[in-house]
Amino acid sequence: PQIFEYNGSAVVAMVGKNCFAIASDRRLGVQLQTVATDFQRVFKIHGKLYIGLSGLATDAQTLYQRLAFKHKLYQLREERDMKPETFASLVSALLYEKRFGPYFCQPIIAGLGEKDQPFICTMDCIGAKELAKDFVVSGTASESLYGACESMYKPDMEPEELFETISQALLSSVDRDCLSGWGGYVLIV
């Protein structure tokens, strides 16, 4: 079985004007069978930092729990929240530790950094970071998502327009992918 296609997923993040949007589908499947339609793939790290994890669902949950652990300790010691850039490095390092037995996940990190500047990035399952200025996609529907985002995206969108754009991009892409869908979850910060 293809391990990245086992559960099915679609996650996308976009940059707007002093805001960001992160969205995911809601389906959890076991290959062709749908098992849940309310599965959470986007997790909060702190008020201005979110991570979306596509790929194998169990790895997504475990990875999130381990990251929450590390961030909690950072917060207790530093008495502040982690910056998105720093968090991205943390995720990358965590994934590379398992270089020869990886987590089957592709994370998307979205946050507001210094002076509320939006920050998004994605990485592969062993931690290769890819910073982007406009949008990042991952999951079984990623090819459709690339196409949809590329045509619908405009820079410096306000939150309301960003919401419309990311929702339309997500919904039209998952409709072309049998493994993801059953609604979407969109978060604008």
Binding interface with other proteins (CB under 8 A): 65-66, 69, 72-73, 76-77, 79
Query: Which CB, 35 or 73, lies closer to other proteins?
Result: 73
Q: How far is the CB of 183 from other proteins (least distance, A)?
A: 25
CA atoms of 176 and 32, how far apart (whole Å):
15
Query: Which CB, 34 or 75, lies closer to other proteins?
Result: 75
Q: How far is the CB of 44 from other proteins (least distance, A)?
A: 14
Strands, E, within the chain: which ranges? 10-15, 20-25, 28-30, 33-36, 42-46, 49-55, 105-112, 118-123, 129-132, 135-139, 184-188
Query: Which CB, 69 or 96, lies closer to other proteins?
Result: 69
Q: How far is the CB of 166 from other proteins (least distance, A)?
A: 28
Query: Which CB, 17 or 66, lies closer to other proteins?
Result: 66
CA atoms of 84 and 106, how far apart (whole Å):
17
Q: How far is the CB of 142 from other proteins (least distance, A)?
A: 30
Which among 14, 38, 9 is positioned nearest to 189, based on CA atoms? 14
Residue 116 per-residue DSSP state: G
